[in-house]
Amino acid sequence: VQDGNVSFTITLTTPACPLKNQIESEAAAAVKAIPGVKNVSVNFDSNVPTDSRLMGKLNIGVRNAIAVASGKGGVGKSTMSTNLAISLALEGARVGLLDADVYGPNIPIMMGIHDRPRARDNKIIPPEAYGVKLMSMGFLIDPSEAVIWRGPMIHSAIRQFLEDVNWGNLDYLVVDLPPGTGDASLSLAQSLSLTGAVIVTTPQKVALSDVVRGVKMFQQLNVPILGVIENMSYFVAPDTGKRYDIFGHGGGADMARQVGVEFLGEVPLEPTVREGGDEGQPIVVRDPSSPAAQAIREIAQKIAAAVSVQHLGPAGGFQSDPVLKVLN
């Protein structure tokens, strides 16, 4: 406080807080109402809670692990994983992306990284792109080589990706799972206590029916469901602006209500999403003003908020580092 000028810092539980602007506005208004205050400057910091269930599982500095899954292939799960991870990083979070889809490791292509990772002190140094640390089976095998593994080998590979990679300290580790309910999901749940899971679907019935199976699998594994994303929800013709519900409408929201989980939002079908994925430029960085990019950024904020509020406090599984504040 100096000559009527007040500056203070608000510590949030996530840098991706969707209410940041509202908090800033209301806090500034409240302080400015104090007699003698002329100008107010609001700054933000973050202290992301740590999921205590992760502590003791593996010797890695990950505060929260978020799985991105789908009941079937072809719904854009890896596209969502990539863009969600980058979106969290753009908000200021420390983020890693683990490509656990060992049968179809596409994340390196989508992130535009093709070089093999280096090793230092018996640890793999994960490549980094767009502020996200990345590890994938795609770095270790020839692109034309088929991965024909049984469950124990998948379990071993995923555990190595967790333990033998120098992830550093991460606020969020986003894990791109293979489609369906197979060995990789089980191995991950056994190796790492997931903070929560996000399920990606498309509007048509054949995809939505698989959402129920995915939700039930995570419930059986005691993994909280953070919500459902409906990808390829609609297409807007660039010449007329008319909306077309190519795969149906509202199915994702209806299914989320039926299974009792949050509907995180719709992501429209846009050619630039596919183009960005093919060229190693995910949509949130290739065309950040596009409707798809804006929708994904909002969904990432909702996921971060859901992680922060889930089981928060002594009764839950989260804890924050102690913060000492001096109030005058």
Please say whether the dihedral angle defined by the alpha carbons of residues 97, 306, 159 and 125, taken in this order, is positive or negative.
Answer: positive
pLDDT of residue 278: 95
Structure tokens at 134: 């990345």
**Mean pLDDT across 138-165:** 76
pLDDT of residue 317: 47
pLDDT of residue 144: 67
Domain 50-309 grouped into CATH 3.40.190.10: no
User: Residues with Cβ < 8 Å from 277, sequence gap 6 or more?
Assistant: 78, 79, 82, 109, 110, 283
User: Which of 44-48, 264-268, 307-311 shows the lowest mean pLDDT across its residues?
Assistant: 307-311
- Nearest CA to 118 out of 61, 159, 172, 166 is that of 166
132-149 pLDDT, tens digit each: 999 998 887 766 666 666
Burial (CB < 10 A; 0-12, 13-18, 19+), residue 215, is: buried
241-289 pLDDT, tens digit each: 999 999 988 888 988 998 899 999 999 999 999 999 999 999 999 999 9
Question: What is the C-alpha separation between 127 and 134, in angstroms, rounded?
Answer: 6
What are φ and ψ of residue 84, in 5° steps?
Answer: -65, -45
**Residue 215 pLDDT class (50, 70, 90 cuts):** confident
The pTM (predicted TM-score) of the whole model is 0.87
Q: Where are the beta strands (DSSP E) in 78-221?
A: 95-99, 118-120, 123-125, 128-129, 132-136, 169-170, 172-176, 196-201
Contact in structure between 68 and 81 (CB atoms under 8 Å) = yes
Contact in structure between 5 and 41 (CB atoms under 8 Å) = yes
Strands 235-236 and 243-244, sheet pairing: antiparallel
- Nearest CA to 319 out of 224, 310, 45, 91 is that of 310
Structure tokens at 155: 């379990």
* pLDDT > 70? residue 324: no
pLDDT of residue 65: 94
